[in-house]
Amino acid sequence: MLDISQATHMLTSLGVSSTLAAKAAERTAQQQGDADPLTFLKELQSTLAELSAQPATAGDTAAGTTATATQQSTKPYQSTAERYTEKSGTDTAAGASSSTATAKAPFNNLQEFRQWEQGLGDTFAEDYEVPDYVRMISMSLSGGDQEAVGRYMFFKNNPEFAADYAAIRSGQLSKFPTDGSTLVKSDLSQMPAETAAFYKSQPPAALLAAEGFNMDPTLAKMRTDGKVEVPEGVNPSEWLMSNKWTADGVVAQDNRQLFAQAPYIGLDGRGAGTYRLTTYDAATNSIIDPNGTAYDPVTGEARA
């Protein structure tokens, strides 16, 4: 049986509000909890579309939007590079590095960050689309004060997104990709040409859904096409999460751990430097900056 929390997290990463995602995941789990994972995904999409058609409530908004994966899938796909070219006049790698070099965070410490965050507006453009970076930190954004350090560290290390976030909270449109293409972790160059072509031709949500459930995207596609069979007596969900396709055959791989540690390389494979993210060191209970500096997870202050 697929984990409800896992389905919920996958939907929120695609831009669905946390409340709506939880409702869709819970209902689908009740109806198709023991189904094949690909059948579960199809039912999840159907349930999401049904719930999205219902009038939204105040609790159904996330970061000021009710955009859904179903709605996003109807839009023509544009690559990461195309979105950066359209929005900011640069390609993915250059856009990330140049804007980071010139941008400066509007705060110097956690206290100043809290003041900055409290002063943000709550007006979103009518045609607002959820930026990829908001999807990535959606859980932190909805986490309230207990997630403040996480938000502070993200915007401190990515000041260009801090400026953009302030702008969209005042009714402007994001200057960064909103199609999910920067959130892809799978390397399409390592897939069969046919599979890579399929994922390139689809909105990134198709690939992100497989990753969200910790499935090897190639095996998931082959299973849908009837080109591979799960060994008899083996749980299909566990098999897709515990194996990967290679040119020499299917081999074991812990996809859950792989995707948890893999960088966001983007659908075009060139976005590894798009997001500067921290890591958590359980041994010292510290948040580790990309430059190696350790920070206290409660105060946000650098450790001696």
Residue 116 confidence (pLDDT): 96
Residue 235 confidence (pLDDT): 87
> What confidence tens digit (pLDDT) does each residue in 18-64 have?
677 777 777 777 776 666 666 777 677 677 767 766 654 433 443 33
Highest-pLDDT range among 63-67, 200-204, 260-264: 260-264
Mean pLDDT, residues 288-296: 94
Residue 112 confidence (pLDDT): 96
For the entire predicted model, the pTM comes to 0.73
Query: Has residue 302 got a pLDDT over 90?
Result: yes
Residue 37 confidence (pLDDT): 63
Mean pLDDT, residues 203-212: 88
Residue 204 confidence (pLDDT): 87
Residue 144 confidence (pLDDT): 80
> What confidence tens digit (pLDDT) does each residue in 209-263 have?
899 889 999 999 998 888 998 899 998 889 999 999 999 999 999 999 999 999 9
Residue 5 confidence (pLDDT): 65
Query: Has residue 200 got a pLDDT over 70?
Result: yes
Residue 145 confidence (pLDDT): 83
Residue 2 confidence (pLDDT): 56
> What confidence tens digit (pLDDT) does each residue in 146-194 have?
889 999 999 999 999 999 999 999 999 999 998 889 999 999 999 999 9
User: Cα dist. 62→74, 172, 246, 294 in Å?
Assistant: 20, 17, 38, 30
> What confidence tens digit (pLDDT) does each residue in 254-288 have?
999 999 999 999 998 988 888 999 999 999 999 99
Of residues 68 and 201, more confidently modeled: 201
> What confidence tens digit (pLDDT) does each residue in 108-157 have?
999 999 999 999 999 999 999 889 999 899 878 877 888 899 999 999 99
